[in-house]
Structures are given as C-alpha cells and as structure tokens.
Structure 1
C-alpha cells in the first residue's frame, strides 16, 4: 500500500497520513484489545481480524478494477487495519501459554519471531515481484487469499484454546479490567523491570536505526542506495539467525538476566557501529546488532508469559505492546529533532547506545527480582 501511494498515486507527501492512520488506532485501542482478550477466546479475535482484513482486500481489488482506489479510501483502509491490529496483537501474543508447555515458551516464541523476521525480508520481495510481473490487483488478491487461509488456521486453533484458567470478572466494565491489569502489573517488580528494558529498546533503537541508517550510509560511509540495502539486509539476516539460535537453545532459566545482557551487548555493538567509517566493518557490527536483538525480545516475552496468571495475560501483553509501540513514534521524533538541530547521525547512535547500556546496568543493579526469577 505504501508503494502504491508513491508509485501509482504519486502522493509522497500523503504517505505520512497513511502511517498515522494505521498507527494511532493501534495505540488508542491496544489496552482495550488486551482486556477483551482476557474475556473471550483469543483465537476468535484473531479469526475476526484475519477474516475482516481478507474481505476488505477483496473490496480493494474490486476498487482497483474500477479505478476508485483513492488516497481517501486507502487512509480509511489503513485506519481499519490499525484498529483490527489493536485487537489482534494482544490476543496473538498472549495465546502462546495456552498452546505449549511453559518450558517450551522460549522455543515457541522463537519460532514465531523467526517467522516474523523472515516475512519482513521475503514479504516485500515477493510483493515487488508480483507487482512487477503482474499488477496491484493480483498482489492484493494474493494477500487476501493468505489472510483467509490464516482465518482457517484460527478456526483450528480456537478448538484447542480455552478462554483462561482463572476468572476475569466479565460483569465489570472494560475500563475496570484495564485498571485491574495495571494493579496486577504494579505488584510484580520483575515484569516492570522487563517492560522497562523493552521500552528502552524501542526508544533508543527504533529511531536511530530506522531514521538514521540511510543517513549513516550516505553521510558516514559516503555510499549509495546499494550501501543502504546492504546495511538493512545484514541487519535483517542477523536478527533472523539469532532468533533461530534462541529457539534451538530454548533458554528457560534466568531469562531476565539473558535479556539484560543482550541489552547491554546491543549498546556496546551500537557504540562500535557508530565509530566505524568502513563499510565492511559496519556490516560486521550491524550483523552483531541484529544478532543480539532476539536475545532481548524473545526471552522478555517468554519470561512475562511464563510468570503471568492466565486471566491477566492479555492485558499484560497489551500493556507491554502499548509501552513499547507508544515510544516508537517518540523515538522517530527525537531522532529527527536531533538531526534538525545539528547532531550528526554517528553522534546520535553513540548517545543512544550509551543510554541502552546505562538502562541495562541500572535494571540489573536495582531490580533484584530479575536476577532470580526465570
């Protein structure tokens, strides 16, 4: 859809509206989605989301055939997709403890992470290939078919999932359930410490890497679009390989410590990356950056899932997503602001990496529970 805005509609200035339309409902309704995930069958929420998206894309194909797929329709579609994601992701991320044993959570989450990492590499390539040799109609039709197939998988999953083992008060309001989730979180310094680590990761990594990487390739390495593609591809391969290794090792002990070590290692590799001016050295360090990212996120997700009571899992996972996703736009804004006032991108990367190291050390020193809980 983003390429359609730039290539077909030639409305590059409107692309920001598309991103905004999809991101805002995710933030605004994520907590509600988590509360609902604790009240109904999570696979049912996933089914409704995938099915609705699949049907909407069939409508998009029809609009493309009659040349009525305008920017206004696309912005509205992005808003609906973002709204559906706000309910889908809390249900999806909190579903795993219902499907696998607790000692297999790390391996299971690694499989999911590996699939997601691979899809971000392969998906755009396939979409570009289909558009290049076919058309937007064929591409959107293919995605629609895949979403409808996913809905079929959701039906199968739904048969094996109960709502929860504990009891969520379904007579209470959604707002009461959300506040109850906050109260539950406040009672667990361990989960607060893990969430702080996830928040730091998104705040100090997302903006400097996403916004800064093409600038780093151009200004620091004196490269072109091929240089940028090499850096991006190497980062993606590194995250994919690490997710595979984490799944193979299936870390079940001291997952909080493992995540913090990964966070501080990430800071060290980012410091090294910010100081490089040679492409081959930059590729080595950015592969290491991608390599350690999965050391952080997979153990954090697995540890939170393993230590959360089943009736709260949807709300806790939605709180985690809300905290981390909410700061990604802030990270973009801060990075852009620092660039606009004259900070060089290598300086921004250096400062961000130091912040990651400091957060990791502080959590490790002051959050005692994170050293003992698995």
Structure 2
C-alpha cells in the first residue's frame, strides 16, 4: 500500500500590523500633511477675511464652503467608487494645492478683496465634497480588514496632531508674511501629500455585484450603470444593511447632541462662569487629550472585543458627561469632565468609524463615507446656532442636558439593533 500524503491546508497570511506597514505609513504621512495644510489654510483664510472686510463678511466667507460641500457630498461618494479613491484623493489634493498657491500669488501681487477669498472657499467646498468620501474609502485599499480598526486609531492621532500643529504654523505664517505667506505654506503642505499618495500601493477589491459594468432591469434587459443609478444603489445598500443603517443613524444622533455643547455651548458656558479664554482653552485641551488617548489605545491594541456594545456604552456614558459639564463648579473639574468626554467620544467615534470600514463592502465605501460625512458635516453643524439661541432662552444647564439626551439616544439605538449590538471587528 502506498500512503497518500495530504498536504496541510494553507494557513491564512496575517496582515502586517498597520503601524509597521510602510504602505500604510506613507498613506498616513500624506493624510497628516494634508490635514496640517487644511488647518493652516483655515487660519490664513480667517485672517485674510477679517483684514479685507467686516466681521460679518468674514463669517460669511468662512461659512460659504459648507454649502457646496453639503450639496455635492453624495455625488462625491459616487465619484470615489466609480474612479477609485486613490485617483480622486490625488486629483483633489492637486486641485486644492493649486487653488491655495494661486490665492497666495494673487495676495502677494495685489489686494483683490473678499471676492477672491469667497471664490477660494467655494472651490475648497466643491473639492472637499469629493475628497472626503474618497479619504474614507481609501483605508480598505491600503491594508487588510483586520488592521482597519488600528488605522482608524492612527487616523485619529493624525487629526489631533494636525490640530495641535496646524494652528501655530498658520499663526507663524501670518506673523512672518501675512495671509499670502500662510496660504503659500498651506499649499506646500498639501503638495507634500501628492507624491506620498502616488507611492501608495492599492489592494485589489473582491469581486462584488456593485462592480459590474451593467445591471439588469425588471424585464431582464441590461442597462448601463449611470452615476444616478450608482447613487440610488448606494443609498439602497445602506438602507437594507442590518448594521450600517442603524450605525449611521446612531452617528447622526451622537453628532447632533455633541457638536453644539462642545463648540458654541462651551464658549458661552466659559463666559457665564467667568472662566475666560484661558479657562476655555484648558477645557478644550482636556478634551483633546482624552480623544488622543482613545485613538492611541485603538492604535496600540488594533481591535477591541464586543465593538458594538463598547461603542454603545461609550456613547451613553459620554452623554452623561456632556450633561454634567454644565454643572461643574470650577475650571479644574470642567477639565476633568472634558477629558472624560474626549476619551469616550474618541473611543465611540473610532469604533463607529472602524465598524463602517469593516461592515461595508469596499465597492460601496465611497458612498457609505459620503452619507456618514454628510451627517457629520452637513446636519450636525446646524445644531450650533440652535444651541446658542437655546442657551440664551433657557440657560446652559437645560440645553446641555437636552443635548446629552439626544447624544444618548445614539447609544440606545445601538443597543436596540441586535446585529449592530453584536457587531465585532475582524481579528
């Protein structure tokens, strides 16, 4: 008898840890440089607008980019999925770089006034509508599924770093050479991201029905895929998904309850308590440290078990902390509560982002990111003027508690949907 030797089944190859993967680190470097450039750009834009017009006109210039960004965000998700997020991010970063450098050159040569700044803000808003969904879809193409949670943590650290470094760099640019120098610095920082992105290798996507070039209609005929059909397919995919639909709703509730109190609400609270600008700065620093700690935790661990349940508990506990912030007696206590809010909000935000990345089919990630971005950047900021008006009518305590209740509903929603509650991050 001849023994038949059965070769052992091949073992799955483990993904390289994201923090040791040169491909991921190049992407992270490009993302960080672009985000620092964004922060410098906003400092330069606000300074130039204040110098060129009245405070109300400057406010309009700063806000004008939000309109095209909100209106075009869903279309930007379609563009990212149709043409690939890498091409879209490279192209949009190149356009943003060219626009900012052109504005710097014009400001060096003359004083064109508010029209140039408004035009630049509109261009940025249009490009951001394409850039942001593509950025959300890119991580799934540069690393394996088991590393996407760690990448979300690394991305959170990059955002915190950009916020800390970008504002002083922008201020330094303005101090040394005015708004033109700051715009030039922003353009160069954004430009650094382009060659780094070109060097990033993309992974092949698994075959999916969404990648077909044509789909059949109800009569069995084949219809060419159009951008409008892609958008409808993406929205239908999200609506029918047992995890993504409630997850995006929970993100919306969390952002609606969080953005108002931690932005305009905190300013009004500091003013009424007599904490001053320095006190508000310490509270914001506490929040930033907490959020950075949460991002670092996910970066180091790579994943947390029971992601759905942990996200729900973090949202609920964080909402209680938001409500308590209006009743703390001193700046020191407020800093401690803000640190807790940042830690829990950073943890829940990173977990929700990781679940979006891992639950969505990569072929739909641009459209999924667009819907999530529209919720966070289009709907949530609407709560800021409402929060300010409500505090004027009822005071900080009732408004913070109401906002906390809205935020807490997001955690309740996560617990109510079984598939989302039991959702896990891949190993």
Same fold by TM-score, threshold 0.5 exceeded? yes
Aligned to 2:370: 318
Q: Which of these residues, 50, 55, 58, is aligned with residue 12 of structure 1?
A: 55
Specify whether residues 165 and 11 from structure 1 end up closer, same or farther in structure 2 by C-alpha distance, changes over 3 A only.
Answer: farther
Task: Report the 3-state secondary structure (helix = DSSP H, G, I; strand = E; otherwise coil) of the residue aligned with 1:90.
Answer: helix
Partner residue, 2:47: 3
1:214 to 267, 277, 299: 267
Q: 1:205 aligns with which of 239, 258, 264?
A: 258
Residues 1:186 and 2:239 are matched in the alignment:
yes
Corresponding residue number in structure 1 for 2:70: 27
The answer to whether structure 1 residue 87 and structure 2 residue 138 are counterparts is no
- Give the structure 2 partner of residue 357 of structure 1: 408
Structure 2 residue aligned with 1:369: 419
Judge conservation of contact 2:68–2:125 (CA < 8 Å) in 1: yes
> What are the residue-to-residue correspondences of 1:50-65 with 2, within 5 Å?
50-65=93-108
Q: What is the SS of the residue equivalent to 1:258?
A: helix
Post-superposition Cα deviations, 1:34-90, rounded to whole Å, max 9, x if no partner, equal: 111111121111111111111112211211112234111101110110110110110
Tell me how far apart the structure 2 counterparts of residues 161 and 101 of structure 1 sit (CA, whole Å). 9
TM-score by length of 1: 0.94
Q: Deviations over 1:163-191 (max 9, x none)?
A: 77434355322111111011111221211
Q: What residue is the counterpart of 2:11 in the other structure?
A: none
Moved more, 163-172 or 75-84: 163-172
Match of 1:247 in 2: 299
What are the superposed Cα offsets for residues 133-184 of structure 1, whole Å, 9 maximum, x if unpaired? 3432222212111111111112112x43557743435532211111101111
CA contact (8 A) 1:265 1:292 kept: yes
Aligned equivalents of 2:143, 2:212: Cα separation in 1: 25
Structure 1 contact 202–331 (Cα < 8 Å) conserved? no
Partners of 1:333 and 1:290 in 2: CA distance: 22
Equivalent in 243, 258, 267 of residue 319 of structure 2: 267
Q: Distance in 2 between matches of 1:40 and 1:137?
A: 34
Contact 1:194 1:256 survives alignment (8 Å): no
Of 268-277 and 282-291, deviating more is: 268-277
Give 1:130's aligned residue.
Answer: 173
Q: CA RMSD in A?
A: 1.7
For 2:284 and 2:47, the matched residues in 1 are separated by: 18
Aligned length: 369
Name stretches of at least 5 consecutive residues in structure 1 with no aligned partner: none
Give a deviation string over 1:245-292, Cα, whole Å, max 9, x none. 121122253222221111111112112212112111111001111111
**Map of 1:117 onto structure 2:** 160
Q: Following superposition of structure 1 onto structure 2, how do residues 276-355 of structure 1 map, counting pairs within 5 Å?
A: 276-340=328-392, 342-355=393-406
Distance 2:72 2:297 in 1: 34
TM-score by structure 2 length?
0.82
| Alpha-carbon contact 2:88-2:134 (below 8 Å) kept | yes
The corresponding residue for 2:39 is: none
The structure number with the bigger radius of gyration is 2
Q: Hey, what's the Cα distance between the residues in 1 that align with 2:202 and 2:417?
A: 37
> 5+ unaligned residues in a row in structure 2: which ranges?
1-44, 214-223
Q: Distance in 2 between matches of 1:56 and 1:232?
A: 32
Residue 354 (structure 1) shift: 2.4
